[in-house]
C-alpha cells in the first residue's frame, strides 16, 4: 500500500474511534524546501479551540510498513486528537501583541527552494536565502514549537516586516542562544588541536541553527580572535561549518557543500549549495 492509500485508510480507521460530533480530515502541510507531509486534524467550530493538534501520518506509515497494527495506530491517533487542549495553548495568545513581540524569532531558509511557500509568509531576502519568522510556543503539557508567521497574521498584529525583524534580532539570540565548538570537540577529541581550524556553529537547540549566521556580533568576535576572514559552509538548516581563511580554494569548498547536500542531508534540511564569506574588515557576509 502506498503512502496516499495508507493515509486515506488510516483516516477512516481514526474516524471510527472518535466521539460523536468529532470530524477528522486530512491536510497537506508544506514544510521547508517544498517537502509535503500529510496530517490528520480535527475540525474545530469554536475559535477558542483553534489549536487542534495535527498528527503526521508519515511515522505511522513507516511503522505499519514494518509490521505494526494499523488499528492500534488509528486508536493512538484518535487519542492524541481528542486530548484536551492545554490551557496555555490558545489562539488568543497569538493575538496578544506583547506575547508576540517577546517570542518572535527568525529562521533562515533557501529562497529558491521555498518559492511556492514564501509568498504566504512575511520574509526578507538575505543573499540567496530568506529570513522567515516564527512565534515560539511553550506549553508545560505539549512542549515547545514554532508557529510560522504568515502575512495575514502580521496584518492582524499591524506589524511591518521591519518591526518583525527588529524584534527577532533581539529575541533569537536570547531565546535560541548560540553554540560554537571546534570540530575536534564535536568529534570527541577536545584535547587535540582544532582539526583543520574548523568549527561547528549552531544554536543551543540545534534546530534551524544556521540562523546564527545573522548573529553578526558572534561572527565578528570569532573573526577578530582568529585575525582573518571566515568561510561559512551551510551543512544544513540546523548548523554551519566555519573555517578561517582568505583566498582559500573556494571551488573545493563549493564542491564539498554540494556533495554533502546530495549525499548526507535530507531534502527538507538543505539550506544552500552556496559558500559564504564573512569579511572581517567590512563586517559583512557575501556569497562566494
User: d(Cα 241, Cα 84) in Å, to the nearest integer?
Assistant: 43
Domain-ending residue, one of 107, 137, 172? 172
| Same domain (yes/no): 194, 282 | yes
The pTM assigned to this predicted structure is 0.85
| Same domain (yes/no): 41, 68 | yes
Domain assignment of residue 86, yes or no: no
How does pLDDT run along the chain (288 residues), one tens digit per residue?
Answer: 899 999 999 999 999 999 988 899 999 999 999 999 999 999 866 544 445 688 999 999 999 999 999 999 999 999 999 887 666 555 566 678 898 999 999 999 999 999 999 999 999 999 999 999 999 886 444 446 788 999 999 999 999 999 999 999 999 999 999 999 988 776 765 544 444 588 999 999 999 999 999 998 999 999 999 999 999 999 999 999 999 987 768 899 999 999 999 999 999 999 999 999 999 999 999 999
Q: What is the pLDDT of residue 195?
A: 47
| Same domain (yes/no): 195, 279 | yes
CB 149 within 8 Å of CB 136:
no
Domain-ending residue, one of 57, 81, 105? 81
**Non-local CB neighbours of 192 within 8 Å, separated by 6+ positions:** 184
Q: What is the pLDDT of residue 49?
A: 46
| Same domain (yes/no): 278, 194 | yes
User: d(Cα 251, Cα 162) in Å, to the nearest integer?
Assistant: 35
SS (H, E, C) the chain: CCHHHHHHHHHHHHHHCCCCCCCEEEEEEECHHHCEEEEEEECCCCHHHCCCCEEECHHHHHHHHCCCCHHHHHHHHHHHHCCCCCCCCCHHHHHCHHHHHHHEEEEEEECHHHCCCHHHECEEEECCEEEEEEEEEEECCCEEEEEECEHHHHHHHCCCHHHHHHHHHHHHHHHHCCEEEEHHHHCCCCCCCCHHHCEEEECCCCCCHHHHHHCHHHHHHHHHHHCCCEEEEECCCCCEEEEECCCCCHHHHHHHHHHHHHHCCCHHHCCCCCCEEEECCCCEEEEC
| Same domain (yes/no): 222, 165 | no
Residue 181 pairs with which residues in a beta bridge? 200
Q: Cell 495575514 appears where?
A: 152
Domain-ending residue, one of 147, 172, 197? 172
Domain assignment of residue 8, yes or no: yes
CB 198 within 8 Å of CB 243:
yes
Please give the residue range of the domain that contains residue 190: 179-287
CB 12 within 8 Å of CB 62:
no
Neighbours of 242 (CB within 10 A): 25
CB 280 within 8 Å of CB 234:
no
Q: How many Å from the N-terminal Cα to the C-terminal Cα in the chain? A: 46
* Nearest Cα to Cα of residue 102 among 38, 167, 54: 167
Number of domains in the chain: 3
Q: What is the pLDDT of residue 64?
A: 96
Q: What are the φ and ψ backbone dihedral angles of 271, each rounded to 5 degrees?
A: -95, -55
| Same domain (yes/no): 16, 70 | yes
Residue 24 pairs with which residues in a beta bridge? 42
| Same domain (yes/no): 191, 278 | yes
| Same domain (yes/no): 67, 151 | no
| Same domain (yes/no): 188, 251 | yes
Amino acid at each position: 500500500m502506498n503512502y496516499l492509500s495508507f493515509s486515506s485508510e488510516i483516516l477512516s480507521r481514526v474516524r471510527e474511534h472518535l466521539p460523536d460530533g468529532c470530524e477528522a480530515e486530512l491536510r497537506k502541510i508544506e514544510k521547508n524546501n517544498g517537502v509535503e507531509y500529510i496530517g490528520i486534524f480535527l475540525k474545530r467550530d469554536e475559535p477558542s479551540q483553534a489549536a487542534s493538534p495535527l498528527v503526521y501520518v508519515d511515522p505511522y506509515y513507516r511503522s505499519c510498513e514494518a509490521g505494526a497494527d494499523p488499528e492500534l495506530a488509528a486508536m493512538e491517533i484518535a487519542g492524541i486528537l481528542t486530548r484536551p487542549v492545554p490551557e496555555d495553548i490558545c489562539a488568543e495568545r497569538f493575538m496578544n501583541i506583547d506575547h508576540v513581540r517577546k517570542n518572535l524569532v527568525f529562521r533562515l531558509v533557501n529562497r529558491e527552494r521555498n518559492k511556492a511557500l514564501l509568498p504566504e509568509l512575511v520574509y526578507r531576502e538575505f543573499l540567496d536565502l530568506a529570513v522567515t519568522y516564527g512565534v515560539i510556543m511553550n506549553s508545560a503539557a505539549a512542549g515547545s514549537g514554532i508557529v510560522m508567521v504568515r502575512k495575514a497574521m502580521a496584518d492582524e498584529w499591524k506589524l511591518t516586516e521591519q518591526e518583525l525583524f527588529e524584534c527577532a534580532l533581539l529575541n533569537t539570540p536570547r531565546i535560541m542562544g548560540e553554540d560554537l565548538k571546534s570540530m575536534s570537540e564535536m568529534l570527541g577529541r577536545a584535547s587535540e588541536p582544532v582539526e583543520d581550524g574548523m568549527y561547528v556553529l549552531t544554536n543551543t537547540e540545534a534546530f534551524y541553527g544556521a540562523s546564527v549566521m545573522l548573529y553578526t556580533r558572534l561572527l565578528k568576535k570569532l573573526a577578530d580572535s582568529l585575525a582573518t576572514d571566515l568561510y561559512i559552509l551551510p551543512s544544513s538548516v540546523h548548523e554551519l561549518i566555519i573555517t578561517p581563511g582568505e583566498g582559500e580554494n573556494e571551488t573545493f569548498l563549493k564542491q564539498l557543500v554540494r556533495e554533502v547536500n546530495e549525499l548526507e542531508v535530507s531534502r527538507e534540511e538543505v539550506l544552500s549549495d552556496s559558500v559564504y564569506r564573512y569579511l572581517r574588515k567590512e563586517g559583512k557576509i557575501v556569497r562566494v
